Each structure stands twice: as structure tokens, then as C-alpha cells.
Structure 1
Amino acid sequence: MNTRVMIAEDEPLMRERLLEMLRVEWPGADVVLVAENGNDAWDGFLEHEPDVVFLDIRMPGLSGIEVAQRIGKAAHVVFVTAYDQYALEAFDAGAIDYLLKPVQSDRLAKTIARIRDKVQAPPAEMGDILRLLRAKMPEAEPEKMKWIKATVGRQIRLIDVEDVLFFQSDTKYTRVVLADSEALVKIALKDLLGGLDGERFWQIHRGTVVNVKAVAAVERVDAERLQVIVKGSDEILPVSRTFAHLFRD
């Protein structure tokens, strides 16, 4: 079976170059998505569930590091960067690989060979490497959202993000659920993600992000499925297979 691959790169020429090089160097790869920014990369990852992801470190919206943090152990990650000062010693730890721009065919061939050797094995834990990368590029960290404006009836409310139990996608809107009420914001969930603290808010489903402090318990539905019980809410939130590892480690 072909390996499913996703590319996330905001530079058009680099996107096309990497795509063409993959066609030549790895004809067995099935490129399921080419994303132009971090938000589309994450949304596309949830839809296509690729085995391998090539991520530019710096992208509009979610950065490559933030996307990798959300991917966790769900796929093998290769970072693509123009900046060799971004802790290449961390990449060389062997958990993931990296490509320096402009990508050279011989270096890509080595990366592909490394991926082929381990693509059938579970992806490695990236926590320590991501922390090293964040420490090397603090200026890339966007300020996290503290308040959110939301419609409640005829009113516009200013809601403290820490009071939110969970966010849930609702067509063009996002439900903002609190212990005593709920509201709607006219922002897609994927566009909210970049402003939320990934340590505090966990995505557990393509359409659901939960406040970790609001998780009362996690129940096993069957051998494959989990669901979250939320403090202060009667709703039960399903956990998709992509995010089950969050509660199993």
C-alpha cells in the first residue's frame, strides 16, 4: 500500500519544487494534500490522515511546530526550514527528520530512505524536540487568546477563554460552551486553534476542542472508541482515533 503524504509549505515555488522532487524520488508516495498555511494543514491532516507530513516550520496561522504538536504520534513528521540555527541537533536525535531549504535531491533521498525504514513502526514521541525548537524560536510564538467576543441572543459578550468548557464546530460558526450558557462566534474552529493555548486546550475530534481543566473523566466506549465527560455539562464528547493517544500515554 502506498504511503500517504501531506506537504505544508507557504512558499509557492518551494511547494512545487518539493512536490516535483517527491514524484521523482518517491514514486510510491501518494500525496493526499498540499497545504499553504498551518490552519489548512491541520484541517487537512484530520481529513486525510496521512502517514508522513512535510511541515514548513514558519507558516501563516498555526506554525509547523504547533501543527506537529497537535499531530503528536499520529504521523511521521519531517520539518522543512530555511534556518539551520533552529536546533538541528534536536532533529538529529533521530525522532524526526528535517530538510533545509532549498531542498536538495540527495538529501531528500536520504530522508525518504529513513522514512521507509520506520514508516510501519509507530511514530516517535516529539515532545522534547518540540520544546527545544520552541526555545530556539520564541519570537515565532503568537500571543495566545485571553478573551473572545461571542453572540448571546441580542448581546455581544466578552468571554474569558479560561471559562470555556469546550469549543465545537457548527457549520460556519463555532459553539462556545460554558458551564452556565453557550454562545456562537462567526469563526471556523480551525481558525481559532492558532490563538488557543495548546497546553490548555486539546483538540479531541475534528470538530471539538476541550479545556483540559474541564475534563471530568474519559470513558472507553469499546476497544477503539473513547469519550470525554465534561465538568458542568451534560454533553458527552467523542474522541476520534487520531486523538486517542492523548488519553492513553
Structure 2
Amino acid sequence: MKPLQALVVDDEPLARERLSRLLKEAGCTVAGELGDGVALLQWLKEPGRELAETDVIFLDIQMPGLSGMEVLAEAAGGPPVVFVTAYSSYAVQAFELAAVDYLLKPVFADRLAKCLQRLQDRLVRPLSPAELKTLLPPPVRFPIKAGDGEVYMDLDLVTHFELVDEHVWACRGQNRYLTRWISLAEVEQAFPDDGMLRIQRHLLLRPQTVKGIRPASVGRIKVLVAPAVELTVSRAMTPKAKECIRAGTS
């Protein structure tokens, strides 16, 4: 079977490199990498482009300038598009715009394989809501204390975890909820694939929730996770925090 020819469009170099590597490992040919939506529109408008043997475009949604959705809306008649993004909330809009498939970051090889099989089979119709539910991961939940019992909270609602006197609090901006964990290590072990960062000995940040960053003291940054809620990142963790936050906005 002929290898799929893929074009990768993402403004974050690390994300482009990761997806290109996974595609090559899956037997695809990466026809090129582009850094933003404007570059993609220019690529699509090049003379003779309609004859190019590009089978699919893997397109990030959140990019500076034109978003992936804006590009797709303008690029009728181009190759099939698979959206790639960190936010499942875009799924319905993506399929309304006739994307072939939708991959959540970080992309894993098994989910990518299903997408590539669809493309090989030429199942290029938009997925139905029922089919979409089978592809999106279920919400990750954990217990928080409520009187003598407990209720369950979606991890996606949490901006960070804070350790105070051997009690771990799940924080949603300014709101705090007492968990049954007694160390941040237990939280990290419970969610090994979430990409949490220990930005202070007592603070565990979910980088994908960061709304902004600004310099603090020399070598440090503050991250905004909710209105009027900033967390200070240690000097040692500042470089890694910047890298993860930027990757998470792609």
C-alpha cells in the first residue's frame, strides 16, 4: 500500500517534530512542515498545488495570525485535514468544518494509527457525534472531601495542586478543594500522562491551564492561572515551565 503523504502545520517546533516523527514511524512520508496558517494558505495557492500528492494535512488549531479553523474555512477543495490540538472543546467545531479526524495533544501512536487507517480506507466523511465520543478520551476524575463523604471532580477543572501541612488541595483558580492525598508525589503518580510540573516544593502546576506568564525576580517567572491568581515558578524550573507552557498553547 502506498505510504500516505502528510503535511504538518503547527507553530510550535517541538510539536511539529514530535508529530512528524510519529508519522514517519507509522510509515508515512512527511511532505513538509509549516509554522502557521498564512504559510499553509500560500502553500495551497501555489500554481499546480492541486496536482500535488499530499494525502492529508495535520493542522494545529491555535496558531498566531490565522487559526487552523480559519484556514480550513478558506481552503475549500484542499487535501483532507486532521486537526491536532490540546483542547477537546474544539471537537464539535472541527467536525462541523468537515475535518477528517481530530487528534488531542499529546498525540500517541495508537490513536494516530486509527486516524491513518481511516485515511487509508478513504473514510473521509465527518464523524457523527456518536463516533466522536468513541475517539475522545473520557474525563479524568478524582475524589475530593465533602463532609464525611466525597464527591468527584474533573481533572480538567484543576489549575494546580498545593501541599499544605501534609494535605493536598486541588485548586481551581482561587477555589480550593481538599483531596485525600498527603503528598504531591501521589498526585503525580495518579496522573502520569497529564504533564504536571513541580514549580515549587509545595506547588504542582498543570501547564495547559496557564493563561499568561510574566517575569518575576531574576531567573523566575509568574504564571497566571485565573483572574488575580498568579503562581511563582522556581528558578530551577523556569526554563522547563516556559517550554511546556508554550508547547501546550499549540
Q: TM-score, normalised by structure 2?
A: 0.43
Larger Rg: 2
Q: TM-score, normalised by structure 1?
A: 0.43
